[in-house]
Each structure stands twice: as structure tokens, then as C-alpha cells.
Structure 1
Amino acid sequence: MDTTKFVGRQAELAALADALRGAGEGRPAVVAVEGTAGIGKSSLVRRFLTGHPGLTVLSASGATEESSLRYGVLGQLMPSEWHDADPLEAGSLLLDHIGVRQAAGVVVLVVDDAHWADAPSLTALTFALRRLRADGVLAVIVAPDVGDLPGGLHRLLAEDTTLRVRLTGLTTADVRELTGLPAPAAERLRAHTVGNPLHIGALLGQLPRARLTDMTRALPAPSSYSRLVTRTLVASPLAARALTRAAAVLGDGCALSAVAAVAGVGDPLEALEGAAGLLVETGPGPAVGFPHPLVRAAVYQHIGPAERARLHTRAAVRESDPARALAHRAAAVVGTDAHVAAELADLAGDEADQGRWSTAADHLLTSARLTPDPVLRAGRVLTAADHRLRDGDAVRAAELTGQVEAMPPTPRRHYVLGRLALASGHQDAAEALLTSAWESGAHDGAAEQLAWLALTQARGAAAIEWARRSGGAPGMRDALALALGITGRYAEGLACLPADDAVGPGDLLDGLVARGVLRLWTDDLDGAQIDLARAASARAGLLHLGPMATAYLAEAEFRAGRWDDAVAHAEQAVSLAADSGQSWLCCLAHTVAARPLAARGDLPAATAHAEAAVRWAAAL
């Protein structure tokens, strides 16, 4: 993972570019770049400057150890031949220096970490910036908050004429681009770090990928951050420490009284006061929590295993919600516990019955970890992999491949490995494994998967045969109808699908996607758009049907002349296919996306999609 690359921040870069254009037209601009430590302020400015080569750049940065060094920052901006000047005279000299440097074009003046700059330098800087008139100057002042700066500069940066760029955390999409993690793991990492690039980079360097994607285990705090929190915790009064540790076990937003009861603290208000900087009030009651997710993680890490088990056990006793109580009991287990594992498996079964496949899979994996019997443990891992595939998350399902491959050969193991291979584009391996599972006579689902495999390879006759062997499994009307369609038997394919009013809202889209595709193939564009729009918006079904419906909806809209809608749905199909980790859908989605973009004249974007489609096709 390359954590040094720059991601996101396009709006902020555009705002800086606009300010630069104005400066080039004789409208000097002052920009304040603000944000918490590690959020990427300096990286943003570096990226901006890299994107505009040839500028005259005067740069300086403050430092804590030089904050008392007179003119330490100003000396970085211009020749230091004026140490005896007062700040206003020094500011006038800076203004003259900027004027001289403008002979070569726009001057960009950057002061990073301005909150650590020496006071005389900031006074001189303020004097100069207030006297810019028709100059080609862009001044960029970088600090956590302009409120931290001395009065004169603070007032200047707070004026309406100053552009204030406040950076917040990276988005989940940014974190995915930066780390290459699957969507759920990227979102968890973003929430854990509040999107702070410094903390994200620290955890990427600290943890292996398998740990980052293991959703059954909480993420730790970066080591350096944890040391700072631990230092504060150890220095707190005993009751405050106990309260803080209990809060780390219970989580944010718990009533102070409940936290105190688990901690065994008699005076919770006094203990809360002693935990200043670690705990904050988050609601009435009061409820308490942590100022940042990483603070909670650092505190939890500091709890010894014996105390952690005791706290989780106490929390389970007091918890009224059965699922949360069970989570606490599981966290308190050392080694294995067949009874807790069985309860987690039962809970996972209830969640699967309600279609909550991802949560069910996570509980099954926790159950497997606590299961002493190896055969039962393997069965729970296999079921968890199947649940993740049903949830459309082939990426996270593939993370279980190593565990499944280590199991003794069984038809069910071959079936799950075949499904994993099919979803990831390894079609030859998928066919061999699924055929083995089918021939064993122990897994009917293999026929369903082999039907879809044959369909993606345009082997219509084989797809028809496997679909008919599947015994009417969910999605097989789609596979059979599409297989008939690719062999030219459109009417026969449509005849085996439900009529317009026969697919109810609770149906698993069985037949609806194929009906839309066959209508598209037979030039019934209105009917195709109705069916595919309905299928694309559904939240249930086989893992490939939603992205597939969205891609073909884009194709129908393109052929109907609705190019803007086609581009939007094609891009959505690309995202869905990437999120689900299904190679053949990535190929389809990129192929469809290239056409409306090319028709609109956006050849670079169309070419990028076409090249991506070729890469995915080659991978298949």
C-alpha cells in the first residue's frame, strides 16, 4: 500500500487554483488552510504547488523550538540583513522583497505551521499582507485554526476577503484509493481515524492487511498516539482510570451511572472530572464517551487481559439487550467456549433469516474462533464465507480463502472454494471445483453456479443444461432465460419468466433482471428500462444481480438517447462491481460505461473505461 500518494481534496485544490488565477490577474489573495494535526494541510499545499510549476515560491515554516527566535520565520522568506529592524519596518522590507520577486511572475508566499512562528515575524507578515493592492501575490497561511494566531493576523484571516480552506477527514472512497482496502474495511478505518491521513498511514505501517480487514477484531490506536493517551491515563486519579477503562469496554454514549456501576466507582461525577481529556459528556443524564475513537482504542489496549475479562463479564450481566450481552460474554472468553460459540451461531442464524448476511457472517466467525470442535468450526467458517457471498461482498469473502483451503477436502469445501474462485474471476479453477462438488452428489448449489459460469462465457447450451439441473434455485430463471437469449431463443426465454405483475416486492428479483435484459436485446427499450431500474434499486437478491441490472440499465438508457442517465448508472455499475469484487461484472460495467462517454465526446474517460474493460477481460 502506497500511503505517500495524494488522494481526494479536489474541491480544495480547485479553490486554491481559483485564488491563483485571481492573483495572476492582479487580485492578490490570502488563503488560510486550517485543520487538525495530521489532516493533510501541508500535503495539500505541496500538491497544489506541484500542480503549478514555474511559480515563484517563498516558503517558511514555524517550529516549536524556534518560536522564541526573533524573525526565525521571516528569515526563511527573504535575506536576513535587518535583524535590528522593528516588526513594522521588517514588514515593509518584506513587501519590497515580494515586489522585486514579482518581476518573474506570480509570487506564492507560504507560511506553514504559522501557530509556531515567532511573534515578530507574524507581525511583519501581517503588515505586508494588509498592504497588497494590485499585486500578483497568493499568500497561504497554514495553521490548525486561525484563532490560535496573534490578534493582528487572526483578524486579517477572519475577514471576508480571506479564503478559508478547512480540511476534514478523508472520505471512504479516498481511503479505499489510498489503501486498496475493500469498502467495509476502508469505512471502518475511516471512522476509526476520522479520516486523518496521519493516523491512517500509521496504522497501515503498524498492521498487516489481514488484520485491517478482520472485521471481527477492533482496530488499535497507532502506537505513538497510544503512548500519549496512556501517559494521560496513568497520571489520572485511580477512580478516573477505572471509569475510563469501563467506558472503553462499554462504548460511547453510555449513561455515566452504568459506566460507574461496571467500573465499581462510588462517586461518578468526581471520577468524570478526574478523567478530563479522556472522557467527555455526550448527552443528558449525563452520557459519556471519548473525544476521538482513537482515545477509546488506546485506553482499551491498555487494559490488562484479566481486568478486560472482568469488565466485559460485569457489562454482560448489566446489559438488557441479548445480542450486546452475548458480545460482552464472547469478549470475556479466554480460549474457546462451546456454549458461547453455539449462542453466537444461533444469533447468526436469526440474522441470516432476516437477510442480514454481513452481520451473520461476522458473528459466525467469532463463533468459529470460540468453537473447540474442529469439524464444527470449519462448518461455521464455510457458512460465513457463503453469507458474505450472498451479501455481494466477494472481496471480504475471499479473505477467508486461506482458512477454507486449509480444511480437509469435502464437497462443501469444494463448493465454497468454487464460488470464491468464480467471484474473483478464476474461471477454470471455479469450474473444476464446482464440477467436483456436483459430481459428489452432495451440493445442488453447484449447478446454479456452473450455469452462471457458462453464461458469462457465452456457452448458451451448457448454461441451459446446468440451469435445468439446478432444481429451481433462486436466480435460475434469470440464468435459463438469458441462456436461451444468447442462443437466439428470445421468445422462449421471455416465456419462462414471470409476467409484469408477477414479481412481488419481497421477491428475490428472480426473473426480473433477465426480463429487462431480454427486452433490451429485443429492442423493447421502454420495458427494459422499467424492469432494470426496478431491479437496480432493489436491495435483495443474488450478489451479481444488482450490479448486472445497473450496467444493463445504463446500456438501455444509452440506446434510448438518455446519455446523462446512462453515464451516471454506468459509473454506479463500475463502483458496485468493484465493491463486490466480481471480475466479470467489472468487465461488463467498464464496457458499458465507455459508450455513452464516447458519444458525448469525452474520449479520455471513455478510453480509460475501455482500457479497464480490456484488462478485466484479460484477467478472466
Structure 2
Amino acid sequence: MLYGRDEELQEIASLVAAARDGRSGVLALRGEAGIGKTALLNAAVEPGLRVLRATGVEAEAELAFAGLSQFLWPVRDRLDALPEPHAAALHGALGSVPAERPDRFATGLALLTLLADLAETEPVLCLVDDAHWLDAATAESLQFAARRLTAERVALLLAVRDDRAPGACRVPCYPFTGLPELVVDRLAPADADRLLAARGLPAARRTDVIRQSAGNPLALVEFGAPGSAFPSGPAPLPVADRVLAGYQERIAHLPEQTRWMLLLAAAEGRGHLSSLLTAAAESGASLADLAPAERDWLVSVTGTTLIFRHPLIRAAAYQSAPADQRVAAHRVLAATAENPDCRVRHRASAAIAPDEEVAAELSAGAERARSRGGHGTAAALYRRAAELSPDATDRVRRTATAAELQLLSGHPGEAEELALGAEGLTDDPVEVTRLVRVRAAVEFERGDTRTAARMLVDRAAHTPSGEIVPLLRTAALYGWTSGETSAVRAADARLRAAGLDDRFVRGLARMIEGAYADGVPPLAAHVADALAAPPAAPDRADAVQAALAIGADDAVAVLTAEEIAHHRRRGLLGALPALLHAQARVQLERGLHGDAAASVEEAAALARDTGLTRRAGRLATAHARLAAIEGDETRVRAAGDAVPGGVFAQAALALLDLGSGRPDETVRRLAPLVAGPRRHSAGMMPPIADLAEAAVRLGRPDEARPAAVRLRAWADATGQPWALALALRCAALLDDAEDPYLRALDEHARADRPFDTARTELLYGEWLRRHRRRADARRPLRSALETFERLRAAPWAERARGELRATGEAVTSAPDADALDRLTPQERQVVRLAAAGTSSREIAAQLFLSPRTVEYHLYKAYPKLGVSSRRELAGLELVP
């Protein structure tokens, strides 16, 4: 019977009921030690559910996938039925087979697939107790899966200690951010009284117990137990500390050998009875010495496991022992351990001074964890190895590795802390360069790309020759994306001074000087080589940026499609946010607005899950341009707020102003942007055309002429049809001439940017009408209107309708929305793949969902499309 927990029990019952009905859900129970979280987890168990359990153990917090091993042990025979990449990821995580180039999130995707498969036969209830003590690799995998649970019939219930409560014991940083939570509070006095009454405590004593326990259920039970007394010591102590002190007093009255056995058990931490008894035998103790602790209800021994009745008892057994006894316990456990990871953990705990042998063992353990995808665990082990390294060089090298791994794990703050701490301990140029690269990556992730670029350029003067090119290529990329032109110039100058050359850096450096004819060829050559290389070739990531820099839409589309497909097949998630963002930019320009929104939505979810907060913010710029085209001011401004001061967000606001009839605002926003440090990038070329249109509408064409000259030079150098078309449109506007309009439309026909084409058609139609050629104006205006309506570009469509009416043509209302536009972004992705004949399991693998969630999205999409089966989907024009 749980007293005072009606609200919590109702939440849990709703979660389980939803899973039975086919709707997955997650709930994290947060509360202080002793608040009853474990009891609530147990209350969730019902007949007809497959139950999977795991409990975080402090002693296993640095053993990669220790928690996942607990969780999956009952269903390990089901792993081989999964698709090969998922089976390999889980086998690799569990150490049953070597992992090949593991991605730290591939295991989470595989776990999601396994849970979905298990739920095909019966609902699955996942219970995770003491989640704050889970190893980092398990926590990441669980969180990734939890965020993608939708329609799998899975309920995930977590219990985590709340270290924010007054007097609460400190625990590691809570890893499960962004999941639904329920705070479990202390019991009200009436409920506490009912609990004590049910346990037979006399009324005369209940008031005092309630006051001393402050509503903490564990304290109520302990303080109200027959023969117990309140712990001695100064009052008032925090409740958890008072309970801990009470356990310490009870342990102090046990026989010496019993206290030793409890210390061994606490130090061993995992409850493995065989390991405990082997260590005990080495020190002259035995199982019989545990009997007094069992009689006092401090521990229980069942089968092959020893269980502390509460984690605070284990803490009391460990903390109450003198330091020399704790060291002795760990030494005995290390000497008798069979598992190398357990042995090195105990050796590290027993170390009271630097010890290279132990540090080397920790480093080896870190590499084992890294080989299985446990980057966070590996970072912690390398950090401890550094602390135990007698040699300063080894200490710095291991700290640098720990910092790099923390960065890979999505923990930039911890990475920076490690890098800063180690940087002042060495003058070794290789190690300092590693540490500076970590700190620069942290600054880049935070959004301070200028500082990141400068740090790398400054470091290049002290970097070994073999490291200069990759260092300065990164610096140039940071400088290019942030508008820090001096960093790009300096990167190129340092390479030349060293007698080195890099096409990527040289091309960017020439571009920012406005020497487009010199800058485009090396970038184009870099892109061409990448197109001829296989997916995941080393230079392909830079080649995507090079293709974006010169506006090569086709190359960006091909490179991103191939790279995304490769990363999906391999379950490699880390690079996907950037690739999906690049893909979305091209989809948006090609008028595939729904596809662009789907790419951005997926990229944002993956960026959030992989700790790429800066990328998540930058993705808002794609939303901003899409909303600006559609004339949705609320969405444009909301997206702009996510990247305040960003040049592309400002460009989107300027486009919104232009479409809304506010050319003065457009000029005000764009004049500084098109003359700013980003003025040479492909993304700043369309705003020049917007500036020209706004300036002409205001009767101030000269304000746009210098930028238009630059656009023409850029377009001639790149040869991109869309850029040539925009340059010709500017010429037509600024010179009030017809021929540039006609030539612009010819260039548009070679490009695939329908919004730009429709804009030129609209302006040409307006020009024809003003010159009293109303019949000629109707054709380009009709074409423009059709495109604007298809793109849902409301303000531009209204303007085209007005012009058509002015020519004397009756204009019908806009047609119904395209069928795909009725779908959510994820439904659109699923439907396109299904229409192409891709199975639900294959779709799930590509989109990092479960097959049941894929079926759920299809079920929701069919009525919107007016179909009822996959066969009917194939008859729709859904595949671009």
C-alpha cells in the first residue's frame, strides 16, 4: 500500500494504459533519496506486460553499457533477429562482438528497433531505477530511444535522484533532459500518519517521528521501526543525512568482520556475490559474516546477488569505514577481479598517489569503451588516467584525449574545462594544438565562430607542419561561415608562408577578396574531386561547404543525398544535422518546401540529441526564409529570434518586408548586409536582387548599383544559371530595359529555382503592363501566379493577381493545396519512401524511427491523401 501517492500512481497507470492502446510514453520520476521512487516503479508492473529492468549502480558508472547489459540480458536471444546494423550495434555495445567504427547513437537506434520488435507481441514496460548512476553510454542510448518512442506500445519509466532538493545527496548530472518529468514530493502529515499507523506505531510516538522525518517515507519507516531511535548528532540535519547517520550507527554496532564484509560489498558495488566471496576469502572473511547484517535488514542475499536494502545503506557502509580500510577493500577486490574493467576500477580507487601502471590500465579500459561507442565513459576513464599519471607529458596527452572525447559526447563545457586545465601544463606543440582545437570547437559550438577562427589561426604559427593544413582549413571554414574575413586571409597567408597550399583555403581567400575568377576554380575542382570520390571520403564534408560557397545547387544536392544515404545505412548520426541542413537549403531554393521543412525538422531533432546546440539554432534560418516566402510574419520573427543578429535571418526579414510592400524596410535591412563581411557568399547574392527591387520601387536605384555590379561579377565567375538570372534581373530593373528580362528568363530555364523564376516573371509582367502591353504581360503573370500559389507564397501571389486584374483578366481563386502539403514533415518523409516501395523496416532504419511509428505515420497520412493502402500511394505523384 502506497500512501499519499494517488497522483503519481494515476500518471503511471495512464502511461501503462497508453502503451496497451498502442501509444508509447516516457516519464521520469524525480525526487530525493528515500522518497519512494523505487516503490512507484514496482507499482507499474501489471500482468500482460513484458518488463525490462535496469538499475544504475555507482560502481558501474564508468563501465560502458553496463546498464544496457542489465536491461537487455533477458532478451539477448532476440538481438540476431534485428537488421544487421542494429544487431551489430547492440552486440558491439554489449561486448559480444567487436564494434566496427561505432557511432555513439547507433546503439540508441538499435535499442529503439529492439523495443519496437518486442512490443509486436505484447506491450513493453521499461523500468530504470537510479538512472542518475547509469553509465554515460547507456544513458545516451536510452535517451535517444526515448525521444523517438511514438506508437510502439512501450512505456519507459525512470527514477532519478533530485540533487536540487534541500539537503539532498549530490549525484552526477542528470542525463535525461527534455523528457516528461514528475516530481515526487514528501508525504503530507496526514498521509505520513496513515503510513505509521499501518505499521503499528503508537499515536503518542507518531507525531515526533513525522516531525523528525519531514515526510520522507524512508525516514518515516526507519525512525518509526520498533526499537529504533533518532540518530544522534546536531539537529536539525537534512533528512537524507539523518537517515544516513542512522544507518551508520547501526553498522557501527555490528561485529568487525561483518563491517568488513559490508565494506567489501559496498566497494564492489555491483552485488556480484561470487566476486564478493572470492575477495572475502582472500582476507579471511566468509558468507557467514554477513548474517548479522541480514538479521538487521541491512542487506539481503538471494541466489548469486547481494542487495543493499537501500542505496543509503551502501553509502553508510562505505563512508563509515576509515580511509585505509577502503583502500584495502579495493586492493583485495582488484587482486581477485576477473573482469579487466572491474580490476582497473578498483586499482584506481585504491590509488593514493600517481601510478603509471594503473593509469595505463585505465587508458586501455578507455579504449575498450571507445571501441564500443562509449565516448562519455572513455572520457571519464582518460580523465582519471591523467590524474594518476606521474609524467606530465602523459598527463597532458591523456587529458587532451579526454577533452576530445567529451566534445564527441556532446559535452562542450566539460571539454573546455579539461582543455584549459591541461594547456598550461605543457609546451609540447602537438598537444597544445590538440587542446586549442578542442577549445576552438567549443567556441564554434557556442556560436562565437570569430573567436574560434582566430584561435586556430594564431595557433598555426606554433603547429607542426603535418598538422597545419587541417588546422587552417578548419580556421578558414570557421572564418568563412562567420564573416571573419581576416581569419580566412590569415589562414591562406600562413599556408603560403609555410610553402603549403590547400585548394579549399585558397579558394575561400580569393573569394573574400572579390577575386571570384581566381577563387571559384580551386573550389570547383575540390567539389569535382569529391563528386568522383565514394561516400564518406575525407574531403567530402569540406566539399559540401565549397559547393555551397559557389552556389552549385546540383553538386550540393548530389553530395548531400549520397552522404545522407551512407550515414543512414551505417546508423551514423553525428554528421547528419549539417548534411540535412545543407540539403534543406537546396530543397528550399528548388521549391520543395515540404521536403525542406522535413529535413530541417529531422536535423533539429538530431542536433538536439547529439548536443549540437549551435546547429539547432542555425537551422532556424531555413525556417525563416520559408516563412518569409509564405508571408508569415509571426514565424519569420520567431525564427529570427532563435539567431538574433544572424545575416540570413535579417535577409529573411527583408524578403518579408519586400513581399509585404515595405521596400523602405527592405533597403534599411539589406544595405549593410550586402556590403558586410558575408557579402561574397552565395547566400548573400539573392538579397542583392531584393535590394535592387526595393531601391527601384523607392525611386533610388543608385543605392543598389554597386552591389549589382558585384553580383554580376560573382555570377560570371561561378557560371551558375540562377545567379546569372538574378544579375540580369537587376540590370533590367536598374536600367528599365526589356532585353535583360528575356535573357534572365532564359537563364532561369537552366536553373531549378522556381521562386526566383516567378519573381522575374512577375517583374517582367509588371514592366510589360506599365508599357501598355497588357496582352503580352498576361503570360508571365499567369506563370508567376501559378508558381506562387503552388509555393504558398501568399503575398507574392496576391501581387500577381492584382497585376493580372490590371491587364483586364479575370482571376480565379487559388486551387486546393497539393496533397503533400496536408502532411506533417515526418509524414511527408515516410509517405515518399513508402510510395517508392521502401518497406516499413527500411524506412524506420533510414529515418531513425521504429517500424511501428512508420506504420502510425502512414495510417495518419492515408486519409489526408485520399488513399487507403501502399498500393494506392504508388499511383500518386509523390516521388520528386
Smaller-chain TM-score bracket: 0.5 to 0.7
Counterparts of 1:309 and 1:341 in 2: how far apart (Å)?
Answer: 17
Instruction: Give SS of 1:510's match.
Output: coil
Q: Percent identity, aligned pairs only?
A: 23
- Tell me if 1:527 matches 2:549: no
Counterparts of 1:412 and 1:514 in 2: how far apart (Å)?
Answer: 23
Shift in Å at residue 416 of structure 1?
3.5
The one-letter code of the counterpart of 1:381 is T
* Residue number among 276, 295, 300 corresponding to 1:259 in the alignment: 276
Q: How does 1:409-428 map to 2 (within 5 A)?
A: 409-412=427-430, 414-423=432-441, 424-425=443-444, 426-427=448-449
- Tell me if 1:453 matches 2:475: yes
CA distance 1:293–1:286, change in 2 (3 Å): same
Q: CA offsets per residue over residues 228-248 of structure 1, 9 Å max, x none?
A: 134235325446644443232
Counterparts of 2:452 and 2:510 in 1: how far apart (Å)?
Answer: 23
Contact 2:524–2:547 (8 Å) recurs in 1: no
Shift in Å at residue 199 of structure 1?
3.6
Contact 2:560–2:579 (8 Å) recurs in 1: no
The one-letter code of the counterpart of 2:621 is T
Instruction: Give SS of 2:346's match.
Output: helix
User: What TM-score does the superposition give when structure 2 sets the normalisation length?
Assistant: 0.40
* Residue number among 485, 488, 497 corresponding to 2:530 in the alignment: 497
The aligned residue for residue 551 of structure 1 is 581
* Residue number among 526, 538, 551 corresponding to 1:510 in the alignment: 538
CA distance 1:537–1:557, change in 2 (3 Å): farther
The one-letter code of the counterpart of 2:287 is G
Counterparts of 1:544 and 1:484 in 2: how far apart (Å)?
Answer: 31
Deviates more, 1:596-605 or 1:554-563: 596-605
* Residue number among 328, 338, 363 corresponding to 1:310 in the alignment: 328
Counterparts of 1:454 and 1:495 in 2: how far apart (Å)?
Answer: 20
The aligned residue for residue 235 of structure 1 is 250
The aligned residue for residue 643 of structure 2 is 613
Q: CA offsets per residue over residues 40-60 of structure 1, 9 Å max, x none?
A: x9xxxxxxxxxxxxxxxxxxx
Instruction: Give SS of 1:497's match.
Output: helix
Shift in Å at residue 365 of structure 1?
1.7
Counterparts of 1:34 and 1:430 in 2: how far apart (Å)?
Answer: 37
Q: CA offsets per residue over residues 301-348 of structure 1, 9 Å max, x none?
A: 344321211111111122111222111111111122232223333444
Instruction: Give SS of 2:243's match.
Output: helix
- Tell me if 1:571 matches 2:604: yes
- Tell me if 1:439 matches 2:461: yes
Shift in Å at residue 519 of structure 1?
6.7
CA distance 1:616–1:388, change in 2 (3 Å): farther
* Residue number among 602, 608, 618 corresponding to 1:588 in the alignment: 618
The aligned residue for residue 343 of structure 1 is 361
Q: How many residues align?
A: 428
Structure 2: runs of 5+ lacking an equivalent: 1-7, 15-26, 36-126, 133-138, 144-156, 176-236, 513-518, 649-676, 678-880
CA distance 1:568–1:170, change in 2 (3 Å): farther
Counterparts of 1:394 and 1:469 in 2: how far apart (Å)?
Answer: 33
The aligned residue for residue 126 of structure 1 is none
CA distance 1:439–1:34, change in 2 (3 Å): closer
Counterparts of 2:310 and 2:500 in 1: how far apart (Å)?
Answer: 51
Counterparts of 1:229 and 1:304 in 2: how far apart (Å)?
Answer: 16
Instruction: Give SS of 1:400's match.
Output: helix
Counterparts of 1:290 and 1:485 in 2: how far apart (Å)?
Answer: 67
Contact 1:341–1:366 (8 Å) recurs in 2: yes
Q: How does 1:61-72 map to 2 (within 5 A)?
A: none
CA distance 1:528–1:410, change in 2 (3 Å): closer
Counterparts of 2:633 and 2:552 in 1: how far apart (Å)?
Answer: 29
* Residue number among 402, 409, 414 corresponding to 1:396 in the alignment: 414
The one-letter code of the counterpart of 1:318 is T
Counterparts of 1:294 and 1:322 in 2: how far apart (Å)?
Answer: 28
Q: CA offsets per residue over residues 570-614 of structure 1, 9 Å max, x none?
A: 42254157x246x5x455333235445777898666544422212
Counterparts of 1:324 and 1:448 in 2: how far apart (Å)?
Answer: 38
The one-letter code of the counterpart of 1:274 is R
Shift in Å at residue 494 of structure 1?
2.1
Counterparts of 1:340 and 1:537 in 2: how far apart (Å)?
Answer: 39
Instruction: Give SS of 1:235's match.
Output: helix
The aligned residue for residue 819 of structure 2 is none
Shift in Å at residue 364 of structure 1?
2.3
CA distance 1:332–1:449, change in 2 (3 Å): same
Q: CA offsets per residue over residues 416-466 of structure 1, 9 Å max, x none?
A: 443233221355554554345432353633432322222232257766777
Contact 1:415–1:446 (8 Å) recurs in 2: no
Task: Give the alignment's Cα RMSD to 1 decimal.
Answer: 5.3
The aligned residue for residue 245 of structure 1 is 263
CA distance 1:471–1:588, change in 2 (3 Å): farther
Q: CA offsets per residue over residues 214-257 of structure 1, 9 Å max, x none?
A: 9xxxxxxx964244134235325446644443232222352x24
Instruction: Give SS of 1:334's match.
Output: coil
Shift in Å at residue 477 of structure 1?
9.3
CA distance 1:607–1:258, change in 2 (3 Å): same
Shift in Å at residue 260 of structure 1?
3.7
Counterparts of 2:390 and 2:607 in 1: how far apart (Å)?
Answer: 42
Counterparts of 2:400 and 2:393 in 1: how far apart (Å)?
Answer: 11
CA distance 1:446–1:609, change in 2 (3 Å): farther
Q: How does 1:154-165 map to 2 (within 5 A)?
A: none
Deviates more, 1:594-603 or 1:311-320: 594-603
Q: CA offsets per residue over residues 383-409 of structure 1, 9 Å max, x none?
A: 332343455543321121441243254
Contact 2:563–2:579 (8 Å) recurs in 1: yes
Structure 1: runs of 5+ lacking an equivalent: 1-8, 16-32, 42-166, 173-182, 188-192, 215-221
